[in-house]
Structure 1
Amino acid sequence: MEKTLKYIIWAGLAAVSLIPLLVKSNYYFPYIVPKTLAFRIIIEVIFLAYLGLAVIKKEYRPKLNLVLVLFFLYLISIFLSSILGGSFYFSFWSNNERSEGLLLLLHLFLFLIVLSAFLKDFKEWLLVFEASFLGGLLVSLVALAQYLNVSWILESSGGTRLTSTIGNAGYVGGYLLFNVFFGLILFFQRKDNGYLRFYYLSVILLQLFVILNTQTRGAILSVGLSAFALIIYLSFFYLKGYRSAKISGIVLPLLMIILVVLIFADKTAPWVRKNPVFSRISAISVSSTTAQNRLMTWQASYLGFKEKPILGYGYENFYQVFDKYFPPRIYEDAGSIVWYDRAHNMIFDRLITGGLAGLILYLSFLLAPIFYLWRYFVKKKQDGQYLIPVIATLLMAAYFIQNLFIFEALVTYIPLFLSLGFLSRFCPAWPNKFLSSNKPHIVLLTVGLILFLPVLFIVNIKPASANKTLIRAMMNQNVKDYKESYKYFIEAVDKNTFGNQEYRQHFGEFIAGAVEISGIDANWLSQSALRAEQEFDKQITERPKSARNYLMVMRFLNKTYGLNLDRLNKSLELFKKVSQVSPTRPHIYYEAGYSQFYLGRVFEGKGDKEKAKKYYEESLANFQKAIDLNDRVVESYTNMIMVLLAVQKSDKVQSYFDRMDEMGLNYHREDDLSRMGNSAIKAENYEWTLKFYQELTRLFPEKPDYWINLALSYAFLGDKDKAVETAQKIKSFEGDYVKQADAFIQDVSAGKFKR
């Protein structure tokens, strides 16, 4: 029995090391969810096996070492923060995209218990590092194949930035960072095997190559500083008896400095611009968009921290702070990232989710083991024996630097907890009669065996089933089998898992898209929209402090109001609430403005001009509010101009173009011009359609629709010569356009176009 239990644990530890390789395309978030499911299941199995081992072998019963105590205290603190945070369900379960939450922290704690209690000697730890290093090698080989554009290998999701099987270049950099240091430990410990040392060195170099080509600046900075410090230590301390080592210790750091200086000294040099790595390094600047966004996010974080400095807002609740203190300048255009659920900074993330208590405990958990590692080796006073503490210190420093610009994920948590489990060997441990006795382990094992299958189903199998059902719904949506797609959306939502917040979003978007398609059964569409609306009500009830939820529902109501006019009033009721949750988001004013504009149009159609005027004025006020929040967003001006044209206030349009021109904003883009052009057509304002389509035909002369609208503009304005001249150009597109142009010319000559 003992051997079997040990085999299970060893097999589990080996499997955990290979989790970063796991990708399954039939999952929503295929790079994240399968890995998390596998990790949770493996940990649940090996923890049960460990409990069995602890029952029959006293030496495997856990001791209260400092690392375990600190992480346990952190768990207590963050649980308390989450309970008080107002959204404990989300704090506990997280979502598919992050797959973290308190649930993952609990599994990591069990992982840490197994590591610190099961692995007894240094040789066993070297085996664990070997397994992780092998995982790093395989991930690196996939990344190398992506770099070489090997056709049958999974394509990088980051373009030229290598993402391997992890799917995110930043995570690849963080994950391989650990394995480089594990490789260094193995290289210096396996001194008696030249073949193995060659293998370690080769893989380390490969991993460094991949880290550079992830183009993750935080990881590159971490590697560079760590390499700089390690070279100096090896040259002047570890290999101090070798003159060539000292020379290398001077030359190599000097070359590194010179390279960095040259990159920044001439950023436009061809050798910098044409190299993706150098080009990305040279782009490091406080004034860059990425840097500015980070700074604004951290500023919002600081404002939130001041409100709840002790315990913070609870795990996974950074969005509450970001919504409340949303920096309007972060939004530039439709491609801007405006939904942050992490601060992209370890300090601020822990401050917001756990307050000062959480941050201090978490930093203690990371840094205290380094202190005791050094104390252990200093006490030994053996010459040349500081290599392991140096490597461990550089690893933690590199990890810390990397996480000043990004956040943790499972693929970085795994090697982090391997590292801390190893460091726990050198930390204080306190005997505990309760933990050393057999009864608690028997009780835990009994409870674990009873709960194993229910937990396996609730925590893993059921969420996995719902996740895969969503994919089936989306696949049917892609082939336009709407009723089958609807069935699977409902099936996914009815499983009532933590993924419902994401599943409802896709369900709502599916229904809103179906509204715009002709030929769909009206009764079915009405009932489907009603079900989606009911699900969105639950969405807001579950997370009432999420501006994203309010905005999502408002958009849905605005797109489906044709099926139920009351939805416009409901949208405005939600606007009152969301304007308290996130008062500085321009998007909420867009949606409120649309709701008011649609209501104005409804009342205008009923002949109630007073109410129509009231709603139109309120709509314009909200679009103006969006401009006032950030006057450098072209979309805000475009929305305002479209509504001004629609409500017959075209005399005010030019002032907004003048303002954009003064500020150097580029509205001469196809999407913006065509949206405004369409609005002018609907308003039958042909003076403005003429201007928009003159611009569009100049910029995109290959598109016949723009020439057609230009010709119609001339015709309705009474300029027959220009209308005919434009129609002659349309003939150059040949085919049916020739007949259409001839028919149009006849109609123009007959005077059929009148305003």
Structure 2
Amino acid sequence: MSKSLSLIKYLLYAGIFAVPFLAFIVSSSMFFPFITGKNFSFRIIVEVMTALWLVLLLFDARYKPKKSWVLAMLAIFVGVVALSSIFGENFYRSFWSNYERMEGLVTYLHLLAYFLVLAGTMKTERVWNRLFNTTLFASAIIAFYGVFQLFGILQTHQGSRLDATLGNASYLAVYMVFHIFLAMALFYRAQDYRKWIYFFIIILESFVLYHTATRGAILGIIGSLFISWLLIAILSSSKKSKLAHISLLAGMIVIIGSFLFLKNADFVKKSQVLNRFAGISLTEGTTESRLTIWKMSWRGFKEKPVFGWGQENFNLVFNKYYEPILYKQEPWFDRAHNVFFDRLTTNGIFGLLSYLGLLGAALYYLWANRKKTGLSVEDSAMFGSMFLAYFFNNLFVFDNLISLILFATFLAYVGFRSKANEFLAVKPPIGGLTAKNDYGKAVYAVIIGAVFIFVIYSVNIPGILASKTILNAFKAAGTGNIPGAFAEFQKAISYNSFGSMEAREHLSSFAMQVYGNPNLDKEFKDKVANYAIDELKKQNEQYPNDIREMIFLAAVYNKTQKYEEAISLLNKAIEIAPKKQQLYFELGTSYLNKGDNENGMATLKKSFDLDQTNGEARRIYAVSAIFAGQDALAEELMKEHGGTIQDDERFLKAYAQKNNFEKVVAILKVFIDKNPTNAQYRLNLAAVYLQAGYRTKSIEQIEKAIEANPGFKKQGEFYISEIKAGRNP
């Protein structure tokens, strides 16, 4: 039995030391490759580790976690997240989240289990140091990946900002923040050559952090470093250390002051990173939108102040209290881009207080009760400032799995240090399998194994299979295998996982493309459209009051000429989100498609009046005026905004429907001027000329189309011969 338990212990350590390498995983065969692979791997590893740990705990009481305020606050926080999910707007979404985030209650339960495994297993400073060096080694590899991106050896995935294998610059930034502070703590501890290895890692990862251009993380680390160096300068017993850290503080002040003085200099404006910092202001676009979203979050909190709207339900607050000025941003926010407002909105006041309690518990042990932990001044300063930098960064972004894992890891270390000076319980004797109590424990161990096999399958496998199948559907559609793509969408939905949400959303776009394809059989098109409608109805039942899901269904209704159904659904959506312009766009389109130009124009005017600086709302309103026969209004609306003669298919379609030959010709000429090698625009113009009786001009455009696309020569010459013969090809 002792050998079996030793094997389980080593397997447990293998799982713990594998976790730092989750940051490397990019699952190209799965939907949201930077998110899903990491999350599913973490869940499976934690589930296996939890089962192994529980078995060890059955036989050895030393694996029981020690009580601490950190453990208590984490348990309270996860408990509050659970309560907010249960009493919130949509428990299913709160529990599972989606592929893009994969947070949800299920992730917090896994983080709590991970913390318990660490707290119960990592009982010595030696093993913690090994874990720290392991995660630091992994972070150095990630940092080199970022350097290779900077020099063009590897591609970035988010513009020019470094993101490594995290897929997002802000995710990489906070990952660097944690490890820079860890490297600094180990630098202070080291007394040999390793000090210079840690110093190199600090420089390397600071360089990468800088080139992520993530302002919250960089400001957080600057401010927290200032605090940590100030603490060391005040509390250190070494005069040499005091002087060194006072010098560092002075140097930091000089650098910051110099930047503020030179922020309008040319070299600052030419630097992507420095220019982002120089441009910080309350009127800057990103800042303005964040402030607006935070105001919306506050209104959402006031409506449900106790346990909030439920984990993962911020999108409902965003929709209900949407402000039209946000049209400049992406249309759908599922986070406040501020973790504190996220907690306040989705988990209520208890969620925010328990979250802040985690920071309070950590700082209590690191700073207020440092002597009990046995940590040096430098250790307590660095680890405490690490938490401050992380929380400051969270004022401007949201968490991701890797940052949450690191947060839980360092919380577990603080919990360990809070009891570091206590003697561990004596290991109880372990008898052979002949002992009656051991037979009972063995039975429990088998039950634990069976339960966790079920958990591993039910929590992970359906979601993994659905994720892969969605990608298979995309691939099939991309190669023109439309029936195959449809079958893959059906298969993805059949797994009945939380991935069905994304499968149905993408099915809606696929169904509209299929329905509009003139080369496909009508029976097949109807089959796809009807299936999509049925599934999207289920989606609306599963996610009630989510206007995004309503829009997906309404769009399919519009495409399949079910205008009354679309109008009814969109009016319901507008009751939920009365200031969301996109709803009015879709509703106005429904009326126009139905032939009700009066209501269509009135609806689109409401959208325009919500915020007249919205150029898209202005253009759509102008198009509706053309459909309604009010050309003068359209001209007035667009007078100082590019006019109605511009490369916009909607103006072209509207004037074509109204048989306004001059406008159609003028717009097509604009398209041709901007796309001179596009033969299709010339063919369209040729068709318009031919329809109007200008046969010579039609031939001229076909000849120019042949010049633009020599492959069209045979077909084009046939058209020309037909036109010259007096026929319309």
TM-score (norm 1): 0.87
Residue in 1 that maps onto 2:653: 678
Counterpart-to-counterpart distance in 2, 1:519 and 1:720:
30
- Compared CA separation, residues 12 and 667, structure 1 to 2 (3 A): farther
Residue in 1 that maps onto 2:479: 479
Residue in 2 that maps onto 1:80: 83
- Compared CA separation, residues 273 and 546, structure 1 to 2 (3 A): same
Q: CA deviation at 1:579?
A: 1.1
2:277 maps to 1:286: no
2:350 maps to 1:350: no
- Compared CA separation, residues 449 and 594, structure 1 to 2 (3 A): same
Residue in 2 that maps onto 1:586: 581
2:199 maps to 1:161: no
Deviation readout 1:327-357 (Å, 9 max, x if unpaired): 111113xxx4111111010110000111111
Deviation readout 1:374-420 (Å, 9 max, x if unpaired): 2332579x9x9311221122111100111001001101001101111
Counterpart-to-counterpart distance in 2, 1:340 and 1:88:
19
1:728-743 alignment, distance < 5 Å: 733=708
Residue in 2 that maps onto 1:133: 136
Counterpart-to-counterpart distance in 2, 1:666 and 1:226:
50
Counterpart-to-counterpart distance in 1, 2:713 and 2:481:
34
- Compared CA separation, residues 379 and 247, structure 1 to 2 (3 A): closer
- Compared CA separation, residues 508 and 123, structure 1 to 2 (3 A): same
Q: CA deviation at 1:622?
A: 0.9
2:334 maps to 1:341: yes
Deviation readout 1:160-202 (Å, 9 max, x if unpaired): 11111111110010111111111112112222x21x1111111
Deviation readout 1:256-291 (Å, 9 max, x if unpaired): 21342145233xx1x223322222222323222211
Counterpart-to-counterpart distance in 2, 1:535 and 1:743:
45
Counterpart-to-counterpart distance in 2, 1:740 and 1:699:
22
Residue in 1 that maps onto 2:306: 310
- Compared CA separation, residues 243 and 357, structure 1 to 2 (3 A): closer
- Compared CA separation, residues 491 and 272, structure 1 to 2 (3 A): same
Deviation readout 1:211-251 (Å, 9 max, x if unpaired): 11111111111122233344445566545326972673355
Residue in 1 that maps onto 2:510: 510
2:372 maps to 1:376: no
Q: Residues 645 and 653 of structure 1 are in contact (CA less than 8 Å); yes or no, is this contact kept in structure 2?
A: yes
For structure 1, the 5+ residue unaligned runs are 562-566, 601-614
Q: Residues 31 and 471 of structure 2 are in contact (CA less than 8 Å); yes or no, is this contact kept in structure 1?
A: yes
Match of 1:389 among 369, 380, 387: 380
Residue in 2 that maps onto 1:609: none
Q: Secondary structure at the match of 1:170?
A: helix
Residue in 2 that maps onto 1:257: 256
2:146 maps to 1:146: no
Counterpart-to-counterpart distance in 2, 1:242 and 1:398:
23
2:638 maps to 1:640: no
Q: Residues 182 and 383 of structure 2 are in contact (CA less than 8 Å); yes or no, is this contact kept in structure 1?
A: no
Q: Residues 679 and 706 of structure 2 are in contact (CA less than 8 Å); yes or no, is this contact kept in structure 1?
A: no
Q: CA deviation at 1:473?
A: 1.1
Name the amino acid aligned to 2:248: G
Counterpart-to-counterpart distance in 2, 1:648 and 1:731:
37
Q: Secondary structure at the match of 2:16?
A: helix
Residue in 2 that maps onto 1:363: 356
Name the amino acid aligned to 2:660: N
Name the amino acid aligned to 2:252: P
Counterpart-to-counterpart distance in 1, 2:15 and 2:42:
9
Q: CA deviation at 1:124?
A: 2.0
Deviation readout 1:574-625 (Å, 9 max, x if unpaired): 112211221111111111111111222xxxxxxxxxxxxxx22111111111
2:96 maps to 1:93: yes
Q: Secondary structure at the match of 2:160?
A: coil
Q: Secondary structure at the match of 1:415?
A: helix
Match of 1:66 among 54, 65, 69: 69
Residue in 2 that maps onto 1:608: none
2:597 maps to 1:616: yes
2:205 maps to 1:207: yes
2:316 maps to 1:320: yes
Residue in 1 that maps onto 2:571: 576
Name the amino acid aligned to 1:546: D
- Compared CA separation, residues 473 and 428, structure 1 to 2 (3 A): same
Residue in 1 that maps onto 2:44: 41
Match of 1:689 among 664, 669, 692: 664
Counterpart-to-counterpart distance in 1, 2:567 and 2:208:
50
Q: Residues 51 and 444 of structure 1 are in contact (CA less than 8 Å); yes or no, is this contact kept in structure 2?
A: no
Residue in 1 that maps onto 2:542: 542
- Compared CA separation, residues 667 and 499, structure 1 to 2 (3 A): farther
Residue in 2 that maps onto 1:118: 121
Q: Secondary structure at the match of 1:184?
A: helix
Name the amino acid aligned to 1:220: I
Q: Secondary structure at the match of 1:165?
A: helix
1:397-546 alignment, distance < 5 Å: 397-427=388-418, 445=445, 447-546=447-546
Q: Residues 635 and 644 of structure 2 are in contact (CA less than 8 Å); yes or no, is this contact kept in structure 1?
A: no
- Compared CA separation, residues 226 and 599, structure 1 to 2 (3 A): same
Q: CA deviation at 1:697?
A: 5.1
Residue in 1 that maps onto 2:433: none
Counterpart-to-counterpart distance in 2, 1:221 and 1:442:
53
- Compared CA separation, residues 293 and 247, structure 1 to 2 (3 A): closer
Q: CA deviation at 1:122?
A: 2.1
Counterpart-to-counterpart distance in 2, 1:554 and 1:34:
33
2:35 maps to 1:32: yes
RMSD: 3.4
Q: Residues 369 and 427 of structure 1 are in contact (CA less than 8 Å); yes or no, is this contact kept in structure 2?
A: no
Q: Secondary structure at the match of 1:252?
A: helix
Q: Residues 66 and 428 of structure 1 are in contact (CA less than 8 Å); yes or no, is this contact kept in structure 2?
A: no
Counterpart-to-counterpart distance in 1, 2:699 and 2:47:
77
Residue in 2 that maps onto 1:607: none
Deviation readout 1:490-544 (Å, 9 max, x if unpaired): 0110110011111101112111111222211211111111111100000000001
- Compared CA separation, residues 597 and 79, structure 1 to 2 (3 A): same
Q: CA deviation at 1:682?
A: 2.9
- Compared CA separation, residues 544 and 121, structure 1 to 2 (3 A): same
Q: Secondary structure at the match of 2:344?
A: helix
Counterpart-to-counterpart distance in 2, 1:320 and 1:74:
22
Counterpart-to-counterpart distance in 2, 1:750 and 1:527:
43
Counterpart-to-counterpart distance in 2, 1:442 and 1:326:
57
Q: Percent identity?
A: 29
Counterpart-to-counterpart distance in 2, 1:738 and 1:467:
46
Counterpart-to-counterpart distance in 2, 1:29 and 1:294:
25
Name the amino acid aligned to 2:461: I
User: Matched residue pairs, number?
Assistant: 712
Q: Residues 27 and 34 of structure 2 are in contact (CA less than 8 Å); yes or no, is this contact kept in structure 1?
A: yes
TM-score (norm 2): 0.90
Q: Residues 463 and 499 of structure 2 are in contact (CA less than 8 Å); yes or no, is this contact kept in structure 1?
A: yes
Counterpart-to-counterpart distance in 2, 1:275 and 1:669:
38
